[in-house]
Structure 1
């Protein structure tokens, strides 16, 4: 038995093969909730999308012709104002809604609106000229992640990945479906928050389970596959939104399948690495034997025998303890060890900032893409589509150049591309789209790298809890991202400048982190700290 891993689990996983039949079946099961998460994370973009509307002019609406509109409504940037109108003269005699019927020196706020025949919560709940309410839907959704990610992480680390994934997915289904029947704005945003607060942890749980399913050599490919399926969910969301043209029908179609994931309580295998960390070694050995049988490989008894021995007794620095005693001791000390370790504290801080930057830029670019010139559904699909080659670039560069170099370069590139948008003339629409897609490409590579990096620098007995902490703090970015379209009302390129500045700072912070290429997943706090102290021994 090695020091690094008491039972040589990475050696067993290597012998099983990264993607045998067992891995493929379990990965297929995990990819389904990940595919759904791709839709759930951005559904608010189409649920409460901005639509065309104008001020209602009660005095003139009975006229069949719309020629009077220019007499009643002022222009802003060559288009009729959405939120203001001219004062209708009270002493108007003709009532013809001609130029003399309105006092152009007096501009009033609109009291009611006429909406075009486009479906959105903006029309259903009369949110005309209340952009803050429209963008708040996305912020409230992402604010729910501050609760769901740490709560799901705690449940996952204490009761198992399978339990956390099943419950979170069921919550997605229940509250997502309920939201489609919202009678008013308050009900919709309340259910939006509850769905995210209780169900958004499904993605991170499925991700951790997938990362623990394979050995070091299979993690990057597994991460690439996960991200590609997530992108497929994004593109499906845009396609379904375009097809149905009804946000209520859209919600019912995409959230109903989430309830099926609850069956994973009975059909999905628990994480072997988690079972071992909890001292449930007989269960772990049983799953490994099942995996070996499905993969048609033989696992030597020399590798499996420590699992049965550890179920009875575990050698520690304090003497021999039973697995149950050791498990209780670990539960009490995990959080204290994390708090006491300055190395882990620093990683949590830096990784949280990197995650914040990724979510802010990633979701910010996706959300603002619908305001680009052209079809909003096509633009959203293009911004999603560019993530597929970005994830395959991750597959090529992460294991070749390492995690640090990849993160530094992609953050820096993303910063340059986003800031460049602010210097581009307005009439260069195609160049703007190219820079926009390139910026999304680079931040996607960074986001994919951060996900896999964070799963590699924290120990098994606290991995999802710490990943949840980083992800939760990182959701500050995704919470603020839906509000960035409001910045464009003051200066069109202000969102891009914010995105670029954040990415530039993040690129410098990566220098303080250790390299984790080809490093076995640490199972204890000590092993996690050792990555920083002696990184070369794993190369």
Structure 2
């Protein structure tokens, strides 16, 4: 039986089972745990190496008790505040080793770079590894973390599409737990960077895998609600991260507490049900039928033999004829290289490019706003929580409008709105901090709606046989944005509003590219490349507003 008929049959069965019966609730509960952890892991570097207060150590005077007399005169002023990285040289004609430091002890006509530093009592890897005045090293920690996703997402995608979703999720979560926990014992900066890369490079695919399983678990009507639930739990992870950081005030203890539970997800190899849609795409129909019957029993629903007949019929008619063997051989060759299959389809190639750019924009703006939130006036932990909390109403709005107005309208509107809000930040006077905060939160709100929509949209335009692989390609290329986002605070050193202008410009470009993509509202997930290509030719009425 053709694969497209299997898809129609499965969607009919899922509709009969209901979008969120007991079976779905149990499986979603299992999937939401690694997603909750991923909410903490994605931004933990913000609290591993936050900038903190420090100044040059004036070794000649530190042992004296009259700091208030000499310290203001030991450091040059930069932009109205004492320099953190330079100090005045000693006036040798006045200063002697046995004298008390005073105003006259320093030569204010000549400053030098600091050799050592005095740090505040705040906890940070900056203090532990003496990274003062090396902002590039501090921000590189986040960049290295996100660079690991270039390895993790394709690798996890290959494992997921070839060997199964739950195996990929279990292995990725185990890698998160092992390398994240070990990172808390880093003895130097290099060790921290290596473990940062390995943890993300081998474990960051856990979120995308859990997301794909969740999307394949329900029919078209349940995807948006499922996505909203996933994103809400992810936000709880973000807020938990800020709360734990505030409470613990120790980046090492923070890593130990949040990464240890990830090891438990390895048990999903035995606890979690495999994706039925993936099993069908691999011809393992008997296993798929067993899971569907289990779901029906848990949901107190009876599946008739008529509903299951198309799946059983495949097993009965799948005889080892020369023709079928040739078809299987051809199919195996086609699945050997996801990249090769994509290259042959001009429509899919274009889709991969556009979806990747949409992802770059979302990750760059989304993570950029989150990371720069700790630089806003006020408590950095509260600011981070607020920027995270605004994602909850954003995802509720996403739930309300995606199935009402369609994917394309939502994406275009949110990208344009995000661009206007971010660019507006550069026009607000510095003394209107309340207005800046409102615009900042509104910008995060709109890009969150766009990001949630992109996740759903990308899962709907690619076929089941290579869905996670292509989602991983788009997500991996999209991580260019999240890799560059930790560096945006450096732009603010040159011009405070430069990051916001970058965010807005990229969002405007993304809004234009959305027009080249098809609408997928209420369409079944495509199971073959041919079905995915047909999405661009489907003529459909505009979404009606009730």
TM exceeding 0.5? yes
Are 1:499 and 2:500 an aligned pair?
no
Aligned to 1:34: 35
**Residue 364 of structure 1: CA displacement?**
0.2
Aligned to 1:131: 135
TM-score normalised by length of structure 2? 0.96
What per-residue deviation string (whole Å, max 9, x for no partner) do you get for residues 341-371 of structure 1?
0000000000000000000000000000000
Which of 431, 435, 452 is the aligned partner of 1:431?
A: 435
Q: What is the distance in 1 between the residues matched to 2:11 and 2:288?
A: 13
> Greater CA deviation, 230-239 or 81-90?
81-90
**Residue 320 of structure 1: CA displacement?**
4.2
* Residue pairs, 1:58-457, within 5 angstroms: 58-67=59-68, 68-93=70-95, 95-314=99-318, 319-320=323-324, 328-332=332-336, 335-457=339-461
Q: What is the distance in 1 between the residues matched to 2:275 and 2:400?
A: 27
Q: What is the distance in 2 between the residues matched to 1:398 and 1:79?
A: 49
Q: What is the distance in 1 between the residues matched to 2:539 and 2:112?
A: 67
> Greater CA deviation, 225-234 or 301-310?
301-310
Aligned to 1:5: 5
Q: What is the distance in 2 between the residues matched to 1:462 and 1:331?
A: 8
Distance 1:324 1:346, change over 3 A: closer
Q: Please provide the CA RMSD for this pair.
A: 1.9
Matched residues, number? 539
Q: Is the 8 A contact 1:72 1:97 kept in 2?
A: no
Task: Name the SS for the 1:86 alignment partner.
Answer: strand
Q: Is the 8 A contact 1:314 1:322 kept in 2?
A: no
Structure 1: give runs of 5+ residues left out of the alignment.
none
What per-residue deviation string (whole Å, max 9, x for no partner) do you get for residues 396-448 of structure 1?
00000000000000000000000000011000111000000000000000000
Q: What is the distance in 2 between the residues matched to 1:433 and 1:459?
A: 41
Q: What is the distance in 1 between the residues matched to 2:343 and 2:297?
A: 42
Q: Is the 8 A contact 2:463 2:527 kept in 1?
A: yes
Distance 1:500 1:334, change over 3 A: closer
**Residue 4 of structure 1: CA displacement?**
3.7
Structure 2: give runs of 5+ residues left out of the alignment.
none
Task: Name the SS for the 1:164 alignment partner.
Answer: helix
Task: Name the SS for the 2:140 alignment partner.
Answer: helix
Q: What is the distance in 2 between the residues matched to 1:335 and 1:416?
A: 37
Q: Is the 8 A contact 2:3 2:527 kept in 1?
A: no
Q: Is the 8 A contact 1:85 1:108 kept in 2?
A: yes
What per-residue deviation string (whole Å, max 9, x for no partner) do you get for residues 69-110 of structure 1?
111001222321100100111222463322211111101101
Q: Is the 8 A contact 1:352 1:471 kept in 2?
A: yes
Are 1:477 and 2:481 an aligned pair?
yes
**Residue 323 of structure 1: CA displacement?**
9.3
What per-residue deviation string (whole Å, max 9, x for no partner) do you get for residues 103-126 of structure 1?
111011011000000000000000
Distance 1:229 1:45, change over 3 A: same
